[in-house]
Amino acid sequence: MTMKKKYAIFPGCLMPTEQYAYELSIREIIPLLGIEIVDLEGFSCCGEPMKSVNQFLTLYLSARNLAIAEKDNLDVFVPCAMCHLALSECQHVFENNPEMKKRINGLLAAENLTYTNKRQIVHTVDLLHDHIGLETIQQHVKKPLKGLKITAHYGCHLIRPSEIGRPVDSENPQKIEAILTAIGAEPTTCPQKLDCCGAPLLTNLPESALTKTGQKLQAIQEQGIHGMVDVCPWCHKMFDNRQTKAGETVAAKLAVPVLYLPQLIGLAFGLSPDALGLDLNLSPVEKLQQKEEA
């Protein structure tokens, strides 16, 4: 019997406190694909939201989380793109700045933690595409999503900065499209594919943030695309939760179904919408379910 590969899941702050559907759908589909998710105690914020205020604090928090995973000799599955960037950037800094690594390890010693070895950090997209593989995903499809035109939103944190190593290509990412094809959907690219969701502007410039959100959703709707999938709780917060408000900002009535990629995969696997948390989505996801059932 083949042993399942184990990853410590790093949930971040937004997924377990607000974006429950992402976690629900991940915990439904990932174990079916030969991966064991391990919950570790002691994880905290990745630090990324504080980077513009205190970069050292961000590095310390990221290193602390990685050291907790290292203590259990586990690689880390990080579904949030922002958290994934923070942890990846921390490892990049330590590889190039041994003095910083030594300084932060001096602080981690207070908790009997040490960052020594680089951990493998995977996001939802590369875990599915690179580690699990398209063939394995296809084998679990029970209800191919034929006829569904779906566009992928990667988000900024997943594609940049490329010099530290990101899960997908920065100019023409195609991994989500390959996954969509594997589950029978029709990946449909729009010119706004790499546009920001607007979330980084939400605190200081809320109208500008919602304008970015609304413009992308309006373009998708006008192109006749059936729905969007995303892989970041911050992006989902904008496109799904704030879709109505974003529509008001751009003077358009928006009705674009927005799902997390694991939710759509789960539907193709024949899992129930409730198990995948579709009742938690605020965009009209029932439109996609109706097309799927037609």
Predicted local confidence at residue 177, as pLDDT: 98
Q: What is d(CA 108, CA 133) in angstroms, rounded to the nearest whole number? A: 36
Strands 121-122 and 75-77: parallel
- Domains of the chain, earliest start first: 5-122 (1.20.1050.140), 134-293 (3.40.50.11810)
Q: What is d(CA 245, CA 210) in angstroms, rounded to the nearest whole number? A: 7
Predicted local confidence at residue 2, as pLDDT: 60
Predicted local confidence at residue 164, as pLDDT: 92
- Order the strands of the 186-187 sheet from edge to edge: 186-187, 149-153, 227-230, 258-260
* Amino acid present at 137: I
- Bond from prior residue into 161 cis (ω within 30 degrees of 0): yes
104-124: average pLDDT: 96
pLDDT-derived band at 207, boundaries 50, 70, 90: very high
Q: What is d(CA 257, CA 80) in angstroms, rounded to the nearest whole number? A: 20
Predicted local confidence at residue 290, as pLDDT: 78
- Order the strands of the 121-122 sheet from edge to edge: 35-38, 5-9, 75-77, 121-122
List pLDDT tens digits, range 7-47: 999 999 999 999 999 999 999 999 999 999 999 999 999 99
Task: Check whether 55 has a pLDDT greater than 90.
Answer: yes
Predicted local confidence at residue 118, as pLDDT: 85
Q: What is d(CA 14, CA 12) in angstroms, rounded to the nearest whole number? A: 6
List pLDDT tens digits, range 81-95: 999 999 999 999 999
244: exposed, middle or buried (C-beta count within 10 Å: 0-12, 13-18, 19+)?
Answer: middle
In sequence order, the 6+-apart residues with CB closer than 8 A to the CB of 48 are 58, 62, 82, 83, 85, 86
Task: Check whether 1 has a pLDDT greater than 60.
Answer: no
247-265: average pLDDT: 98
Whether residue 148 contacts residue 227, with contact meaning beta carbons closer than 8 Å, is answered with: yes
Q: What is d(CA 254, CA 196) in angstroms, rounded to the nearest whole number? A: 18
Whether residue 23 contacts residue 92, with contact meaning beta carbons closer than 8 Å, is answered with: no
196-219: average pLDDT: 95
pTM: 0.96
